[in-house]
Amino acid sequence: MAATTELPRALRPAPDFATVFSLLKPHMAALDVFLRSQIEAFEPEIRGMADYCIDTSGKRIRPALVFLSGWRSDGSIQPELVRVAAVVEFVHLATLVHDDIMDDAALRRGRRTAAREYGPEAAVLLGDALFAHALHLAAQFPTTEVCQAVSSSTRKVCAGEIIQTLRRGTTAISRADYDRVIDLKTAELFRLSCQLGSHLAGFPPAFSEAATRFGRHLGMAYQIYDDLADFFGEEKRIGKTLGTDLVSGKLTLPLIELMERLSAVEQAALTDEILGQRPPDLARRLGQMAETGVFDTVAEAVETELKAAEQALVPFVGEAPVPLLLRLCEALRAQVGGLQVGRTG
Amino acid sequence: MAATTELPRALRPAPDFATVFSLLKPHMAALDVFLRSQIEAFEPEIRGMADYCIDTSGKRIRPALVFLSGWRSDGSIQPELVRVAAVVEFVHLATLVHDDIMDDAALRRGRRTAAREYGPEAAVLLGDALFAHALHLAAQFPTTEVCQAVSSSTRKVCAGEIIQTLRRGTTAISRADYDRVIDLKTAELFRLSCQLGSHLAGFPPAFSEAATRFGRHLGMAYQIYDDLADFFGEEKRIGKTLGTDLVSGKLTLPLIELMERLSAVEQAALTDEILGQRPPDLARRLGQMAETGVFDTVAEAVETELKAAEQALVPFVGEAPVPLLLRLCEALRAQVGGLQVGRTG
């Protein structure tokens, strides 16, 4: 692999996802062709449903991690990476289909969810079929290692979602509980994407392990950012109503941190809001989060994970994927910065 | 493999499942130990839920097919077969968990369903985790073929269930439509069990192909029998209320056959019952099924599949699994006979 002398600092002028992702256009196009070609593997009666789920409007951040972790300096498209990017995307799509049943969500990225389009019953099974197809693709690699890694990660993602679901309706959730859930439900697939991308591209195990650690920390950072954006994002930009986590009783880090800072009386009131026993007072809670430093603490938590992600790559700064992966950290950092502006603007 | 000269005819004196299954006691005990040992692979928070699903009261017919298809004349327990029996059982348990959400079922074999015990949301994810663990076990064989076969079958089982779900609320279902659904939702896992059992036990490909065909036809026979038992079984024996398929609007073969035999006026009435637009008149429909020969036609359909299953094994009558597999056909035939007694008694 060709070494590059580019350093993280030098990248800071253009720290957004679009810049990094523009490099991946041909890879994503290849992925899209591959995903569409898989529709025929499904039984004729459900092809339309499977096709409906392969939405092209998503960020496809997991496939991007596969391609970037296995990046070669010539930017070539490696067929193994396209296949494994499809595997992680199918797993992710399956979890979205099942998540939307659970949240009784009507829309996702401006389209009706599969649960609304086909009914929750069919959607349960459609998610299963997408999972099964992910594993089927994983089983087409020469050895069982991809299948092992994907099935193990899938089980962890489900466990994370289960734990989160079972905790709804309780407000006794610690920072450690929160970290565990996001590690399982989000960081696990980020981790897997980096692990498989770097490994299948033929990088040495030491780099692959570093990329795997990077992926996990980036996943943690991404989920904490996402939970912060639920309170402080621009609705237009994040594409959903603010405060949905409070409304649905999901105790994310901003709420955990706010709870700790409130008086006993206010804690009781917020608890009632989280448990759905009184209507959430979003404006009040946002104000309290700003006043008591919740925003800064949570943004700090993102930063801590981003630093750990970057740290993992330090010994491998000469490898082709590294500058690109570091750019993702910069881009996420910039997104957090954008939230802060939104808060005061 | 030791040859045996035992012939199907000679087996007829003891044609019940218990006789065949008694041979499998040590194998099923080994399977149970293995299944329980897998609980630790799940995240601590969901181990209790996974354990709850490993119900020991089920017939475990799919594991039985694995053990019988790979039977050696010394009756030895082969670890590969125990593992693959666990794989098909985990897939089956996952489908049960999801089926019970769909049917909003309260009880399964006298216990609360996972959906009722943990809520439908958690049950969706629990089913996913069981699926994922099945694939994880499948990926632990030396080559990818088990994983490929299991993921492909799982996708087909889901497709069959989806097609069945989407068809609820329509009465324009042909015999061919029905056959396709049961082929996917039931026969596929029976087929897989026989394929993997015979293959992993080291039988030659020609026998494994024959066992695979046997499994598929036995699966078809079993599902048609099950659908007939829904109308003509003894409630105590089949462990559920009669006529549930009519009540839930599931157009199984007995109803398809009945529909064809009714006058236009009666067809309209039955259609209303299936669509839930009037309360089902079960006694009337049972009487009509008996009078118009529906029972005999459906019993005949079971017999046709059983004959095809037996036929597949004819060239391999000297192989150790064959007498045992044929005994299963006899046992199912006897169950159908038992239904007929129930009808007139």
Which residue in chain A is spatially nearest to B149 when comparing CA positions? Answer: A136
Smallest Cα distance from A110 to chain B, Å: 23
> Which parts of chain A are beta strand (E)?
107-108, 111-112
B135 in contact with chain A, both atoms CB, cutoff 8 A: yes
A93: confidence class by pLDDT, cuts 50, 70, 90 = very high
Q: What pLDDT, on the 0 to 100 scale, is given for residue A269?
A: 94
Element (H, E) at A105: none
Q: What pLDDT, on the 0 to 100 scale, is given for residue A345?
A: 37
How confident is the prediction along chain B (345 residues), in pLDDT tens digits per residue?
444 444 444 444 446 788 888 999 999 999 999 999 999 999 898 899 999 988 766 789 999 999 999 999 999 999 999 999 999 999 999 999 988 887 777 788 778 888 888 888 888 889 999 999 999 999 999 999 999 999 999 999 999 988 988 888 788 889 999 999 999 999 999 999 999 999 999 999 999 999 999 999 999 999 999 999 999 987 655 556 778 888 888 899 999 999 999 999 999 999 999 988 999 999 899 999 989 999 999 999 999 999 999 999 999 999 999 999 999 999 999 999 988 644 443
pLDDT per residue over A329-345, tens digit each?
999 999 999 886 444 43
Q: What pLDDT, on the 0 to 100 scale, is given for residue B242?
A: 76
Which residue in chain B is spatially nearest to A136 when comparing CA positions? Answer: B151
A102/B124 CB distance under 8 A:
yes
Smallest Cα distance from B103 to chain A, Å: 9
Give CA angle at B146 (B141, B148), nearest 5°. 130
CA dihedral B189, B191, B195, B196 (to 10 degrees): 10
In angstroms, rounded to a whole number, what is the distance separating the alpha carbons of residues A80 and A196?
10
B48 in contact with chain A, both atoms CB, cutoff 8 A: no
Smallest Cα distance from A273 to chain B, Å: 21
Q: What pLDDT, on the 0 to 100 scale, is given for residue A119?
A: 84
B40 in contact with chain A, both atoms CB, cutoff 8 A: no
Residues 240-299 (B) with a CB less than 8 A from some CB of A: none
Give CA angle at A98 (A95, A100), nearest 5°. 105
Q: What pLDDT, on the 0 to 100 scale, is given for residue A13?
A: 45
Q: What pLDDT, on the 0 to 100 scale, is given for residue A203?
A: 97
Question: Cβ distance B324 to B68 under 8 Å?
Answer: yes
Residue A250: its chain B contacts at CB < 8 A? none
B141/A139 CB distance under 8 A:
no
A184/B43 CB distance under 8 A:
yes
Reduced DSSP (H G I as helix, E B as strand, rest coil) percent helix, strand, coil of chain A, to 5? 75, 0, 25
Interface test with B, best of A131, A177, A196 (most B CBs within 10 A): A131
| Domain architecture of chain B: domains with CATH | 8-339 (1.10.600.10)
Residue A127: its chain B contacts at CB < 8 A? 124, 128
Residue B142: its chain A contacts at CB < 8 A? 144
Interface test with B, best of A104, A158, A182 (most B CBs within 10 A): A158
pLDDT per residue over A121-153, tens digit each?
888 889 999 999 999 999 999 999 999 999 999
B148 in contact with chain A, both atoms CB, cutoff 8 A: yes
Nearest to B147 among A118, A131, A147 (CB): A147
CA A113 to each of CA A78, A119, A241: distance values in angstroms, whole numbers, following the listed order:
32, 9, 16
Q: Angle A188-200/A145-167 helices, nearest 10 degrees?
A: 170
Enumerate the β-bridge partners of residue B107: B112
> Which of A24-38, A72-86, A239-253 is least confident?
A239-253
Of the candidates B81, B33, B139, the one whose C-alpha atom is nearest the C-alpha of residue A152 is B139
B124/A136 CB distance under 8 A:
no
Written as six digits, the tokens of B342 are: 């129930």
In angstroms, rounded to a whole number, what is the distance separating the alpha carbons of residues B303 and B332?
9
B165/A131 CB distance under 8 A:
no
CA dihedral B285, B290, B294, B300 (to 10 degrees): 140
B152/A136 CB distance under 8 A:
yes
Q: Is B111 helix (H, G, I), strand (E, B) or coil?
A: strand
Written as six digits, the tokens of B310 are: 């037996």
Task: Report the complex ipTM.
Answer: 0.86
